[in-house]
Structure 1
């Protein structure tokens, strides 16, 4: 088996014995393991023992012959430095990657970045999880845990470390809390809508009446409305990437069509009569300058006549809209209490500070849409498609509690089946 140990302090004399000091005698480590194909040489102070040259040679020869050798020195790189290497190769939706990177830098690199990859073991992860539990909820911890596990698994595949400590059976993130969506009552929806600026009330209708996500609602254009066919086409969303607005495909990277109720069609027509659609030109997907012809084509500017625009005619910015209009309406409608330090802005209507209200975000309108559809016994597969979920199981997991109880129709159908069999 290839590989040998070189004594760098002594060489053989005329008598064949290794007793003649070399020029390196007394300098550095005495023994060097070398000669194994694909394995870098390594020096040791001692020859025997678990940390000696002989033990290393045997281990390296054995693992190398099976194609399993990983040099521990490759894992000495700091997690922060390895992340830079790893992240530079990531591809995907710019907005999604931006959010992931912010979370990773804050919760992972900020706490573990100073450690080398091979120093991150189960005990270190236990301490890290305990620190996170003091500031994050179980669901968010699970997401961050997934990010770290993905990074460390990449390190395994890059042959930096032998195994991913996140896959140890004795440790893991806390179980996520049961996710049960809560719908609003009709009275609450009408109360919030009444407290909104008139030009934005149609957004409430789009959320409740068509199940649109917020970015999809503010990205809806006139060309997406097919009142004659009773269909609303969800073709894009408006989102922020690198702090700039862009058009992009809806979540899940796919378009869809949803039923357009007659009343919603009438409200859209009335809205456009009072607040005409505005042409908004934005890049597609990524606002950064393209690096090649392909990117130039993919990111080319697009112009759409948006159903909802800001008071000055530009696109609606979701984050500022949530603060200035949505949360103010929640306070005035009595959905959330006023912040102790809240005060009206210069316009005298919007409030400057708000209490946390995540459960009362725009997505609650989608929950209400799902509730109405499921209560009407629409098939879960159809509701899933209308909501733009990747799989009906997602819809079922979120909205199963909203589905009506069995009313005996299945039992009656089975009785009818048996009766038909007997009659025949």
Structure 2
């Protein structure tokens, strides 16, 4: 096999023994491994042993022949250096918000703790200590996301042939916490009406759209007049308003999925009533990303677009999520007695010494978020026995399995209908048995005039609005 070991301190004399000192005698490491294809030369202090030149040569020759050689010296690069110079510049996230979110998690929760460590030293003990720190500071969902980000980085380092193993993927003893249960809670009709009555009149349509069409908050902000088809009784959900940094943009709905939602006449009338008092306002925003495009394609895609929005701020611009939540939504929740009053703070005004502004800070409560209206929409649809596939499509989920995972507990129990069908089957009541049930098996079915089990009702229960 190609490759050899060079003694850099001594060369052979007339007797064939290495006894003649070289100019490098006693300077640096004595043995140099060279001549292995695709492997950089490497020097060693010892000839034999686990860390000696012979062991390295044998390993390099074997792995080089199989095309699997990875020089461990490449793994001495610091994690921060690898991320900043190699991994992050090659990440492509079309959504600027996703890019900003991932960058924040990597820099704040990965590089802060592990950035000064060489790639090839991030193994089980280091991961165990890091995970303990994360668990003490973050929720299980965020910890799971951060763990996944580090795993992606280390896997890229494996693919770049800088390390041989991604310890995030091979762990059996150190694992991130499971994601929290996505179980959603719907509101009662009374609670929805309480909040609707307490919110500013100009914003009541937002409540109607959330509970009546299952729109997300940003989709409510981006709903335009041309999206409402009064004749077909549907709403076309085609965009949302998003905040990128400090600027607003129009963008496709979450998952880049547009959809059409059937809506009741009551909601359409509420839209008409709202427009009679507050006509739709034309709003122009960039599409997708407020930054200037670097290519002709990006410039064209990000060009500003104008839509006549149903709901806008007092100044005629698109609603900002933080403004809506702090100025309209949470005060309505407080007025309805659903959340505690805010903490009133005085904060200095930047650039104006001695001047302060008053800030009302509400406590965070996910169960009282605008998204609860969307959960209520799903609850009512499922309770009415709409198919999961249809509800999933109306909600804009990528797959019905997502809808099932989140809302399965809201589906009405089917045992009443199943019990009735089985009772009719035993009684031979062919007119009421499900068409899918076998009717003629050649076996005589005894006729019974009474239920098989005393105290069991054969009537299916009426749907009840989920609380």
TM over 0.5: yes
Q: Deviations over 1:286-335 (max 9, x none)?
A: 11111111111111111111111111101111123212221222222111
- Pairing 1:390–2:393 present: no
DSSP-derived class of the 1:37 partner:
coil
Determine the C-alpha separation between the residues in 1 that align with 2:178 and 2:296.
Answer: 46
Unpaired runs of 5+ residues, structure 1, are: 344-349
- Pairing 1:140–2:142 present: yes
What is residue 399 of structure 1 aligned with on the other side?
407
Q: Is the 8 A contact 1:281 1:301 kept in 2?
A: yes
Displacement of 1:411 after TM fit? 5.1
Displacement of 1:179 after TM fit? 2.2
The 5-angstrom pairing of residues 251-290 of structure 1 reads 251-290=254-293
Q: Deviations over 1:340-362 (max 9, x none)?
A: 4469xxxxxx9711112122211
Q: Is the 8 A contact 1:211 1:386 kept in 2?
A: yes
What is residue 421 of structure 1 aligned with on the other side?
440
Displacement of 1:422 after TM fit? 5.4
Q: How many equivalent pairs are there?
A: 418
What is residue 333 of structure 1 aligned with on the other side?
336
Determine the C-alpha separation between the residues in 2 that align with 1:70 and 1:201.
Answer: 63
Q: Is the 8 A contact 1:219 1:237 kept in 2?
A: yes
> Radius of gyration: which is bigger?
2
Q: CA RMSD in A?
A: 1.8
What is residue 346 of structure 1 aligned with on the other side?
none
Determine the C-alpha separation between the residues in 1 that align with 2:140 and 2:292.
Answer: 38
Displacement of 1:423 after TM fit? 9.2
Q: Is the 8 A contact 1:11 1:22 kept in 2?
A: yes
Residues 76 and 199 from structure 1, CA distance in 2 versus in 1: closer, same or farther, beyond 3 angstroms? same
The 5-angstrom pairing of residues 116-265 of structure 1 reads 116-167=118-169, 168-265=171-268
Determine the C-alpha separation between the residues in 2 that align with 1:102 and 1:193.
Answer: 36
The 5-angstrom pairing of residues 355-374 of structure 1 reads 355-374=363-382
Determine the C-alpha separation between the residues in 1 that align with 2:359 and 2:409.
Answer: 35
Determine the C-alpha separation between the residues in 2 that align with 1:423 and 1:376.
Answer: 38
Deviation above 6 Å: which 4+ runs of structure 1?
none
Q: Is the 8 A contact 2:249 2:287 kept in 1?
A: yes
TM-score (norm 2): 0.86
- Pairing 1:379–2:387 present: yes
What is residue 86 of structure 1 aligned with on the other side?
87
TM-score (norm 1): 0.94
Determine the C-alpha separation between the residues in 2 that align with 1:321 and 1:43.
Answer: 65
Displacement of 1:148 after TM fit? 1.0
Displacement of 1:61 after TM fit? 1.3
Q: Is the 8 A contact 1:324 1:351 kept in 2?
A: no
Q: Deviations over 1:69-123 (max 9, x none)?
A: 1111111111111112211111121111111111221111111111111111111
DSSP-derived class of the 1:315 partner:
coil
Q: Deviations over 1:120-172 (max 9, x none)?
A: 11111111111111121112211111111111111111111111111122221
Q: Is the 8 A contact 2:343 2:360 kept in 1?
A: no
Unpaired runs of 5+ residues, structure 2, are: 347-357, 426-432, 444-467
DSSP-derived class of the 2:282 partner:
strand
